Structure 1
């Protein structure tokens, strides 16, 4: 639809049964038909430069975080860099953003989101859902509407260049921030402490030698 020019900014494409869900690192996103949210949003953020691509990750992550916390404020939800949402230590949502760059601007962006809502069976051991956590069944359209509303809220903030507040909110909810954790990069495994992210979205980890290591997507993983 984007290639054909038959879609407008802000359009949402949703499906009850996603058969070829994509994730980072070539992974797949599996979802039980009719139980979760699997959808994409089409945006044209031409006000963003290519170096600002990660701002979209930030605002979508914050939107999902807000909706999860609005369901149960006691839920221990976190944003896991670069594009996952966790409750406690289990994944509840994933984000995959594909951008087109044209003349030093982001001409269009397709934001894919998967959120585990009502699924309770056949979840991976590393995943959870809103129903597992709350023992309640949710109306998918209502949750979807809430997510879209929050994304619009942060998108308008971003368009107004209010990035400082967005960065602060994102850093506050970052998974494992300021806590000793175990990682692996191209040089091997190490203990480190996440200290935050750069403007471009690189992850900053302080290692045992108190040196700040900086990582782009796919250059480091949590163990």
Structure 2
């Protein structure tokens, strides 16, 4: 399989790997191709809903990957979310069972969260210029102090200590595969695999929006990233990020 040339930067401790890369860009550093910033300890991690994410040093896989998918129009930037989510999903599935992608891009083992992803894109006209994929995979952490619900780790799920570098290498291997597929225009295949990997894709489940709790099935996810739910009255509901959430029993 063809691989991408990725420049890796290792950092002992940083507030946020996404911020680290953004600071390099704003300082005028030339970062062509792919840049991978990896840290042993992130002190101010954050998620899509503004949740804090505290980690134990040296226990997890924490990184941000900068790429320049200038072949993607702005209205298709969700494809990068699908690519990194599938990459991490496959890597985690090498160690534990029942791994899925909770829309839009959390990685779950069963009903517990093993990875959070924060994606930040810059646009140049109608196209994506820079994309920073910030990821935190709980690998060997056993105790959690954060406001993120239902956390777990690969170690807790598998019952064994896992080599973090192996996990990262697997993520990057899968990322290269999907990114090359995207460059070659094979977007539909990525969309379909993303949908088939969704958490609670099958069956009726509880959701909550600004009007309250309701039961629905996941109908599909649009290329823009909007999720469509079919409720019990057979009405189709369309949601952007943060407009609806899963309800846990």
Q: What TM-score results when the alignment is normalised by the length of structure 2?
A: 0.86
8 Å CA contact 1:195, 1:206 repeated in 2: yes
1:115 aligns to what?
Answer: 137
Q: Does 1:46 find its partner at 2:66?
A: no
Specify the SS of the correspondent of 2:38: strand
Q: 1:42, 1:110 within 8 Å by CA — same for their partners in 2?
A: yes
Q: Kindly tell me the number of residue pairs found equivalent between the two proteins.
A: 221
Give the C-alpha shift of residue 121 in structure 1: 2.1
Higher strand share: 2
Alignment of 1:7-156 (within 5 A): 7-72=31-96, 75-122=97-144, 126-156=150-180
Distance apart, 1:22 and its partner CA: 1.1
- After superposition, the CA RMSD in angstroms is 1.3
Please tell me whether residue 176 in structure 1 is matched to residue 192 in structure 2: no
Contact kept, 8 Å, 1:38 with 1:114, in 2: the verdict is yes
- TM-score normalised over the length of structure 1: 0.95
Residues 72-101 of structure 1: per-residue CA shift (max 9 Å, x gap): 4xx011110001000000000011100001
Q: 5+ residue gaps in structure 2? A: 1-23
Segments of structure 1 that go 5 or more residues without pairing to the other structure are none
Greater CA drift, 133-142 or 45-54: 133-142
Residue 235 (structure 2) aligns with: 211
Tell me how far apart the structure 2 counterparts of residues 30 and 216 of structure 1 sit (CA, whole Å). 27
Alignment deviations for residues 22-44 of structure 1 (CA, whole Å, 9 cap, x no partner): 10111112211110011100000
Deviating runs (4+, > 4 A) in structure 1? none
